[in-house]
């Protein structure tokens, strides 16, 4: 309800097998956690600042502990966020998952084209869904080797997913370690989808 301050200190969480995403406290960047390693990116008005294991506070965090992942190799062509959501759904169902139960997933791709944003909220401004991206750095990936970490849920729209989607996804550029909130994407090639081993 407008309070964007730190609600969670990452140092209070056990890092082993931790996978998480969310905005930095004060909406001053994006966080992605892979097996306890904290990647973050922020925009200072001139350039992106990428850090590892330095940011410890989040305004909101979606997280799960995953000890083992099931890898599913696919060759695909998708050109929208909606198509990716459908792919995650059908892959989960085909592998015996009940998609009415929220779950984490991870995707590795060798060639990703994507648009993303890194939030840089201005203090004193009321936060709404409509003006969220107004205060963001908007970047793009061009054929980059990347990791996507996401959470799928049919029960959390406008809570930890967008009000029009069942997913919340952050992307990590493996070369630059830039973290961003995924907005759109294009993939034409091989990917590996990882689902939690039940």
- The domains of the chain, with CATH numbers, are 8-64 (no CATH), 68-196 (3.30.1330.80)
Residues in the chain: 198
Lowest mean pLDDT among 12-21, 43-52, 66-75, 130-139: 130-139
Q: Hey, is 4 helix, strand or coil?
A: coil
pLDDT of 97-137, one tens digit each?
Answer: 999 999 999 999 998 999 999 999 777 566 555 665 667 89
C-alpha–C-alpha distance, residues 88 and 130, integer Å = 27
Q: How far apart are CA 60 and CA 173, in angstroms?
A: 22
pTM of the entire predicted model: 0.88
| Percent of the chain clearing pLDDT 90 (strictly above) | 67
What lies within 8 Å, CB to CB, of 141 at 6+ separation is 112, 113, 114, 116, 171, 173
> In whole angstroms, what is the distance from residue 43 CA to residue 33 CA?
19
Residue range 78-91, pLDDT digits in tens: 999 999 999 999 99
């Amino acid at each position: 309800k407008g309070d964007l301050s730190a609600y969670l200190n990452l140092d209070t969480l056990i890092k082993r097998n931790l996978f998480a995403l969310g905005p930095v406290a004060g909406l001053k960047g994006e966080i992605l956690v892979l097996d306890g390693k904290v990647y973050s990116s922020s925009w200072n008005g001139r350039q992106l600042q990428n850090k590892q294991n330095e940011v410890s506070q989040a305004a909101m965090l979606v997280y799960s502990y995953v000890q083992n992942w099931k890898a599913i190799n696919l060759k695909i062509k998708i050109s929208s966020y909606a198509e990716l959501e459908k792919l995650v759904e059908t892959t989960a169902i085909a592998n015996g998952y009940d998609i009415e139960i929220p779950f984490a997933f991870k995707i590795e791709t060798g060639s990703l084209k994507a648009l993303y944003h890194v939030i840089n909220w201005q203090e004193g401004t009321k936060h709404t869904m409509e003006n969220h991206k107004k205060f963001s750095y908007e970047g793009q990936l061009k054929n980059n080797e990347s990791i996507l970490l996401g959470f799928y849920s049919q029960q959390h729209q406008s809570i930890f997913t967008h009000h029009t989607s069942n997913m919340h996804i952050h992307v990590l550029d493996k070369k630059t370690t830039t973290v961003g909130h995924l907005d759109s994407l294009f993939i034409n090639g091989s990917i590996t989808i990882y689902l939690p081993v039940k």
